[in-house]
Amino acid sequence: MAAKDFRNVRLGIFVLVGTGLLIAALYLIGSKQNLFGSTFHISANFNNVSGLMKGNNVRFAGINVGTVESVEIVSDTSVNVVMIIENSVQKFIKKNALASVGTDGLMGNKLVNINSVNEPSESIEEDDVLQSLKPVEMDQMVRTLDVTNENIKVISTNLRNITDKINSKNSLWNLLMDTVVAENVKSSIVNMKLMSNEGLYITGDLKAITQGIKNGKGSIGALITDTLISSKIKQSVITLQKLSDTAAIVTGDISQIVRNLKHGKGTMGVLLTDTSLIHNLNTSVKSINKGAVTFDEDMKALQSSWPFKKYFKKQKKAKK
């Protein structure tokens, strides 16, 4: 009998584990579909539900919060979708939230997305109706993609042309690929480097020179920097000024003298201007002329006088 009891115990465990697993699985599946636990109902009206079915998920902020309970046509432009939502999210869904029909992934199941609007509102309540957004339709997407594809085609053709051009001879690419050019470029860069090095030296020198000039080395430097010379120059300029001043005075004096001379002041002036003196001179010269004539006559008379006769004769003979 003990053996039979033991068997029965094992059979009991077997049956219990089996049925327990089945019940657990059914409960888990049910809980995923919100068949247990506290829920509430909300609904939304759509123009087009894109194949939404009973049992599809409802997501709020990307989290599964419920399922679609029913999809019913209300009128020719309106489909009413009733959703079962978990009570725990009731406080988060506001009355002004927007419902939209979306897809889980690109090819996945349809689902209802509830999105919050950035405006304050009260929490949703049982049997509230949400505003809805027009669903993004696959057809429309594909149509847009088609246009995009056309554009990409054109762009890729252009790109191909460009790359062809780049690859062809006498192109930039060739230039880039040419090793000689590269060598030249390299050597010119080296030269440029040398040049710039020299330039560096030159600037260094220039710097030294200007430094020197600043410090008063060399003649220019001295010229520029020697304060003594500049004061001397200043002085000479002053002297020159004085000189010219003096010259002006001298000129003034001269003109005074000339004026005086004109007016016959002083000895020279008298000399130059005294008309009586000139008259006297004239008469003196006339008297001298008279005296000379008389003297000539005297001389002739003398020649013919005896003491002097012999001499004149002798002179005549020598002339012949």
Partner 1 sequence: MKSSGFRKFLSETGDIARFTGRFFTELFKPRFEFAEFFRQCYFIGYKSLPLVAITAFIMGLVITIQSRPTLVEFGAEAWLPKMVSVSLVREIAPVITALICAGKIGSGIGAELGSMKVTEQIDAMDVSGTNPYKFLVVTRVMSTTLMIPILAVLADAVSLYGGFLGTNIRGVCSWDLYWNQVFDTLTYGDVIPSIAKTFLFGFAIGIIGCYKGFNSSKGTEGVGQSANSAVVISSLLVFVLDLLAVQITDLLQLT
Report the amino acid identity of residue 57. N
Instruction: Give the total residue count for the chain.
Output: 320
Nearer to partner 1, 8 or 211 (CB): 8
Report if residue 53 touches partner 1, rule: CB under 8 A: no
Report if residue 312 touches partner 1, rule: CB under 8 A: no
Task: Give the Cα separation of 5 and 13 in Å (integer).
Answer: 12
Q: Which stretch binds partner 1 (CB under 8 A): 8-16, 121-129, 130-138, 177-185?
A: 8-16
Q: How far is the CB of 193 from partner 1 (least distance, A)?
A: 55
Q: Which of 1, 2, 17, 112 binds partner 1 (CB under 8 A)?
A: 17
**Could you tell me how far CA 104 lies from the centroid of its own chain?**
51
List the interface residues with partner 1, window 28-47 (CB under 8 A).
Answer: 28-30, 32-33
Tokens of 301: 């008379």
Q: How far is the CB of 91 from partner 1 (least distance, A)?
A: 25
Report if residue 19 touches partner 1, rule: CB under 8 A: yes
Report if residue 70 touches partner 1, rule: CB under 8 A: no
In degrees to the nearest 10, what's the CA dihedral of 98, 99, 101, 105? 70
Nearer to partner 1, 32 or 207 (CB): 32
Q: Which of 47, 51, 53, 55 binds partner 1 (CB under 8 A)?
A: 55
In degrees to the nearest 10, what's the CA dihedral of 235, 241, 246, 251? 160
Report if residue 238 touches partner 1, rule: CB under 8 A: no
Report if residue 285 touches partner 1, rule: CB under 8 A: no
**In the complex, which residues of this chain contact partner 1 (CB under 8 A)?**
4, 7-8, 10-11, 14-15, 17-19, 21-22, 25-26, 28-30, 32-33, 55
